[in-house]
């Protein structure tokens, strides 16, 4: 069984690492965390020029036509660099949803713009219940005058304040089970009745509260089939969860690298601290955790790329990575000592992302429940 990357995937990883090392230093990450917009337009255009926005978009819509695995390789490097900005919300949450549910006309209109870096998208899914299950979607869309009237509140919508379109999940009929009767809509966030409030977050990422107050949208704004939005969301969310895991693996691996480098250089009692068994065992624990998370993540990604059922594998990857990225970041700080707690050091950037990404797209308990159901418990 061969788990190695192909030559093309290895080349993508090397190019992405070299590019992000130069174009996305941690000084930019800190600057964008304080910036209200949250991303560099110059960096965004440079990424678009090298084809990253369209990496998962078929060639017929102006993309590169790469597989889901290539996207995962790229996202791991983005997580390693703590890349700020709307790549995840636009390409993963937005682009994959349009690919899955959009009509041919919608794909032809939107995907080439996305691939060129001219369109920002996001998915407005979670609500005050803060669950990623279908039962949490209580925003209503009522038929009116050849269109729909949307009423409700969405929370923790990434990058909504700068998106050109929101993909809003709303309930169009009350039925049981809750997975029935959900429809996806393309909504202009600048339109009448839509208000967006930027929330303050631990990692400086841009999460928003979006209120839909009698927002009228035309019938042509429906993405996919009426009342059949949840199967689309379920497929997109599986891919998004694995994509989130890839970012976490990249961040965790970078923490390990920084910690090993420090342990070789930091002297205590005349010896590098890495020569002491306690530090060596911490490092070994970190390596086991990183590689375990990587193995589960790429296993789930491969199954999704091959069109195989992967619900249990996806949940296992997220449940493990949630906990291990936090532990790796905490051990890295512990080995660094006092310097690891300072904002001037890079380690807090990764620890904050470990905490933020832990609850993004389902916390550990949410995914453990999914694993238990899959196991028949």
Q: What mean pLDDT is predicted for residues 140-147? A: 94
Which pLDDT value is given to residue 146? 87
Residue whose token pair is 């996202």 = 75
Are the C-beta atoms of 91 and 247 separated by less than 8 Å?
Answer: no
Q: What mean pLDDT is predicted for residues 177-200? A: 96
Q: To 10 degrees, the CA torsion angle through 174, 176, 179, 185?
A: -10
Residue whose token pair is 């296992």 = 316
Token output for 70: 């290539």
Are the C-beta atoms of 36 and 97 separated by less than 8 Å?
Answer: no
Which pLDDT value is given to residue 282? 97
Q: What mean pLDDT is predicted for residues 252-281? A: 96
Share of the chain above pLDDT 90, in %: 95
Is residue 4 pLDDT above 90, yes or no? no
Which pLDDT value is given to residue 306? 95
CATH number given to 7-119: 1.10.540.10
Q: What is the pLDDT of residues 150-179, one digit of tens each?
A: 999 999 999 999 999 999 999 999 888 999
Are the C-beta atoms of 192 and 217 separated by less than 8 Å?
Answer: no
Q: What mean pLDDT is predicted for residues 114-123? A: 97
Selected from 2.40.50.100, 3.40.718.10, 2.60.40.1240, 2.40.110.10, the CATH number assigned to the domain covering 123-228 reads 2.40.110.10
Q: What is the CATH class of 231-374?
A: mainly alpha
Q: Label residue 1 by pLDDT band (50, 70, 90).
A: low
Residue ranges per domain, the chain? 7-119, 123-228, 231-374
Check the CA dihedral 301-114-7-288 and report its sign: negative
Is residue 2 pLDDT above 80, yes or no? no
Which pLDDT value is given to residue 160? 97
Reduce the secondary structure of the chain to three states and give it as a string.
CCCCCCHHHHHHHHHHHHHHHHHCCHHHHHHHHHCCCCCCHHHHHHHHHCCCCCCCCCHHHCCCCCCHHHHHHHHHHHHHCCCCCCHHHHHHHHHHHHHHHCCHHHHHHHHHHHHCCCCCEEEECCCCCCCCCHHHCCCEEEEECCEEEEEEEEEEEECHHHCCEEEEEEECCCCCCCCCCEEEEEECCCCCCEEEEEECCCCCCCEEEEEEEEEEEEHHHEECCCCEHHHHHHHHHHHHHHHHHHHHHHHHHHHHHHHHHHHHHCEECCEEHHHCHHHHHHHHHHHHHHHHHHHHHHHHHHHHHCCCCCHHHHHHHHHHHHHHHHHHHHHHHHHHHHHHHCCCCCHHHHHHHHHHHHHCCCCHHHHHHHHHHHCCC
Q: Label residue 203 by pLDDT band (50, 70, 90).
A: very high
**Residue whose C-alpha is closest to residue 221's, from 174, 180, 179, 189:** 189
Is residue 318 pLDDT above 90, yes or no? yes
Q: Label residue 227 by pLDDT band (50, 70, 90).
A: very high
CB neighbours of 41 closer than 8 A, spacing ≥ 6?
Answer: none
Q: What mean pLDDT is predicted for residues 265-291? A: 96
Q: What is the mean pLDDT of the chain?
A: 96
Rg (CA), the chain: 21
User: Rounded to whole angstroms, how far apart are CA atoms 337 and 281?
Assistant: 16
Q: What is the pLDDT of residues 239-262, one digit of tens each?
A: 999 999 999 999 999 999 999 999
- pTM, rounded to two decimals: 0.96
User: Rounded to whole angstroms, how far apart are CA atoms 126 and 311?
Assistant: 20
User: Rounded to whole angstroms, how far apart are CA atoms 67 and 241?
Assistant: 16
Which pLDDT value is given to residue 294? 98
User: Rounded to whole angstroms, how far apart are CA atoms 164 and 162?
Assistant: 7
Q: What mean pLDDT is predicted for residues 209-219? A: 97
């Amino acid at each position: 069984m061969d788990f190695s990357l192909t030559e093309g995937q290895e080349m993508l990883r090397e190019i992405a690492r070299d590019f992000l090392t130069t174009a996305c230093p941690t000084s930019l990450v800190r600057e964008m965390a304080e910036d209200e917009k949250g991303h560099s337009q110059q960096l965004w255009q440079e990424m678009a020029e090298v084809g990253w926005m369209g990496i998962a978009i078929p060639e017929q819509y102006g993309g590169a036509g790469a597989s889901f695995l290539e996207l995962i390789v790229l996202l791991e490097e983005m997580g390693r660099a703590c890349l700020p900005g709307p790549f995840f919300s636009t390409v993963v949450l937005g682009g994959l949803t349009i690919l899955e549910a959009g009509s041919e006309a919608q794909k032809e209109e939107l995907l080439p713009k996305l691939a060129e870096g001219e369109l920002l998208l996001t998915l407005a899914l979670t609500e005050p219940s803060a669950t990623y299950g279908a039962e949490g979607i209580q925003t209503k869309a009522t038929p009116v005058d050849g269109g729909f009237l949307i009423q409700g509140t969405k929370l923790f919508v990434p990058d909504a304040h700068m998106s050109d379109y929101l993909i809003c999940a709303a309930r169009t009929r009350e039925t049981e089970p809750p997975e029935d009767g959900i429809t996806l809509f393309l909504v202009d966030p600048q339109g009448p009745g839509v208000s967006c409030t930027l929330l303050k977050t631990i990692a400086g990422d841009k999460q928003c509260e979006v209120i839909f107050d009698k927002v009228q949208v035309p019938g042509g704004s429906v993405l996919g089939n009426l009342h059949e939005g949840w199967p689309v969301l379920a497929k997109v969310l599986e891919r998004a969860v694995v994509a989130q895991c890839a970012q976490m693996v990249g961040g965790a691996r970078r923490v390990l690298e920084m910690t090993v480098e420090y342990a070789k250089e930091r002297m205590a009692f005349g010896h590098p601290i890495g020569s002491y068994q306690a530090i060596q065992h911490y490092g070994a624990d970190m390596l086991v955790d990183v590689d375990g998370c990587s193995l589960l993540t790429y296993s789930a990604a491969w199954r999704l790329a091959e069109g195989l059922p992967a619900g249990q594998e996806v949940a296992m990857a997220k449940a493990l990575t949630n906990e291990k990225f936090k532990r790796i970041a905490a051990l890295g700080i512990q080995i660094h000592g006092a310097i690891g707690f300072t904002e001037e050091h890079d380690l807090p950037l990764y620890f904050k992302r470990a905490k933020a990404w832990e609850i993004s797209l389902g916390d550990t308990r949410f995914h453990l429940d999914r694993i238990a159901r899959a196991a028949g418990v």
